[in-house]
Structure 1
Amino acid sequence: MKAIQVLIWTLLSSIFTLILTACSSPAIQQPASAEAQQVQAETEIARADSAQAAASRSSASSNNSNILNEQRLGTKWGDDISSPITQVALKRLSSSPVSETQIRYAGKQFSGRSINSISLAAGKVSFAVLDGRGRTLPLYREDQQYFLSANEGQSYVLKYSNSSAQTYEIVASVDGLDVINGQRASRYNSGYVLRPYSSLEIEGFRKSNDAVASFTFSKPKDAYVAHSASGSIYNTGVIGTAVYELNAPRGTAAPAGRYAPAPNAFPAD
């Protein structure tokens, strides 16, 4: 009888020992530990990539805004260009512009997304900068800022295109000076009328009702603002635009001419 009890006790002890060994075995815990380490490593890599991307964007933006003295440019009076204008009596629908923007320019290579024009007035007006031959100069967008890589001696034109039936007023400034009266720029000054479905090209600082002095990139000391009592040389390197809606009859689109009309994907609407 004692032998049987001893045998049973021995068997129970062996089973209990096996259970304890299995529970404490690192082989069972190893897969979970390795998986946790892998997840942690992937999380740290993702965080590092995100931080690096953010630092890269911040660096690019900071680099665009940091313009060395030798890279600074202004705009001087260029050649005399015939540009007759007439006065009109139109009122603004609001005392505040519906859209405004500015472009910083300098003799450096900017970074960011290259674009051809800036969208204004909810996409109804586009704003581009052309060279003296009518070719579009690329602009660089960084967040909500715009930059233009300029070359000394290069002439340029501000072009505004209206794709709507609304009439707009364009108030433009260069180097902190109003392009029409040459005085200190204000978004509340009078501007040029941009007719429905048409384009407006501002070629220079207005000299009279019949002519303008072409916009030409130059050293700041040679810029128009440097020789004007109305401005400051510290404002060189910036082009400003404010857009107003005018109270005028809505226009109609010009006929398609010899070209076929554009197809309509939803003719029933």
Structure 2
Amino acid sequence: MAVLGVQMMMLRQQVADEGMWAVLQRLKELDVDAVEVSQIPMDETNTAALEQGINELGIQVGALSVALKPGPTATGDNLEEHYDKVVADCRRLGTRFVRIGMMPFTAMVSKEACEAWAAEVEPAASKLADDGITLCYHNHHVDLAKFDGERMFDIVRRVAPSVHFEVDLHWVQRGGMAPLDMLKEYSGVCKLIHVKDFRVVPVPQEAVDKMMSGDVAGGFQGFLNIAQFAEVGQGNMNWPELLPAAEAAGAEFFFIEQDDTYGRDPFDCIADSRAYLKSIGY
């Protein structure tokens, strides 16, 4: 069975305020077995605390987040400037996966730009593979956009065959593809999965008020913005089917993630997601 963890992007403020070790202890109390580190500095303090979490709590560091090179969407270490550090961190923490969370916006505008970016990623992925580390690319909804009938996700797969994938099932659904279809098409290269639910909420009163006051455009904008990230089990995703399909596709880690908790304490959101997953056998 895939190892169940949390994408720590959700807890970056808590790590900054309370420290990595305190956060890991709270996650262990919630029956979380692994973490994926993203948008949190991999400095010595945090890395040492992660090492302590492995040794004393039994929490795995399932994946570390990297960028290919510096840029506006790059947070933390990048493979161009910090390759040796990334490999050293993985070896120190027993981590077999690193993941790129998003391609640069400049790579999203055309087929040629996407191919050029993927061609830069391939040698980095190959080099990491030689060092025993698998590079995964994480999708958003934009990765389901097509150039000449080919999805951006498939361009990456074609041009960079050494790259595996972290499939975010929420963003797949938001991008207009059935998540089960995605898992079937990417069977064998889906190593990491973001377990994130998709919720549609009622039209807010503010949108109704705008519409009734004559602000039709504002009212429709409120109507269009009713899709939300949700605690697992509190949206419309079919997890009892999706999770076994993800394991069949080769997933080794499931990471609970919720990009926005809408004012709720993220630990409470994680607790709700964990309780639901336990109720369906995970």
Question: Shorter-chain-normalised TM-score: which range?
Answer: under 0.3
TM-score norm. by structure 2 comes to: 0.20
Q: Comparing both chains, which one has the higher relative contact order based on Cα–Cα distances under 8 Å and sequence gaps of 6 or more?
A: 1
* Higher fraction of helix: 2
* Higher fraction of strand: 1
Larger gyration radius, structure 1 or structure 2: 1
